[in-house]
Structure 1
Amino acid sequence: MKVWLMGLGLALLCAVHAEEEEANSINYEEAQGFWHILGVATNCKKILKHKDDMKVVQALLTKLDDGSLKTTSAINLPDGGCKKIEMIFRKGEDGKLYHECDWGKKTIDRAVTDYDSYAIISITMQKKDKEPKKLLTLFALDNSAADLYHPLY
Structure 2
Amino acid sequence: MKVLMLGLGLALLCSVCAEHQCSGDDRHLEGTWHVIGIGTNSFYESTRDGFMKIIFASLFLPEERKLKVTSYFPMESGCKKVEIEFEKMEDGTYHNTSESGKTTIEIVKTNCEDYAIAIVKVEKDEKTTILVILFSKNSEVSPEIKQQLTTIGESQGMMSDNIVFFSSGVACQDEA
> TM-score if structure 2 supplies the norm length?
0.63
Shift of 1:83: 0.9
3-state DSSP of counterpart to 1:132: strand
Structure 2 residue 115 is matched with structure 1 residue 118:
yes
Post-superposition Cα deviations, 1:33-67, rounded to whole Å, max 9, x if no partner, equal: 10111111111346x64122112111111122122
| Counterpart contact for 1:118–1:139, Cα < 8 Å | yes
Give 2:134's aligned residue: 138
- The letter for the 1-side match of 2:54 is V
- The letter for the 1-side match of 2:169 is Y
Do the aligned partners of residues 53 and 86 (structure 1) sit closer, same or farther apart at CA in structure 2, a change above 3 Å counting? same
Which structure dedicates a bigger proportion of its chain to helix? 2
| Counterpart contact for 1:104–1:126, Cα < 8 Å | yes
Do the aligned partners of residues 71 and 111 (structure 1) sit closer, same or farther apart at CA in structure 2, a change above 3 Å counting? farther
Structure 1 stretches lacking a partner, 5+ long: 1-21
Tell me how far apart the structure 1 counterparts of residues 80 and 103 of structure 2 sit (CA, whole Å): 19
Q: After the TM superposition, which segments of 4 or more aligned residues of structure 1 sit over 4 Å from their partners?
A: 144-147
- The letter for the 2-side match of 1:117 is D
Report the number of matched residues: 129
Once the two structures are superposed, the pairs formed by residues 87-98 of structure 1 within 5 Å of their partners are 87-92=84-89, 94-98=91-95
| Counterpart contact for 1:30–1:115, Cα < 8 Å | no
Give 1:39's aligned residue: 37
Tell me how far apart the structure 2 counterparts of residues 24 and 121 of structure 1 sit (CA, whole Å): 13
Shift of 1:141: 0.6
> TM-score if structure 1 supplies the norm length?
0.71
Percent same amino acid among aligned pairs?
Answer: 29
What is the RMSD computed on CA atoms of the aligned residues? 2.5
Do the aligned partners of residues 67 and 52 (structure 1) sit closer, same or farther apart at CA in structure 2, a change above 3 Å counting? same
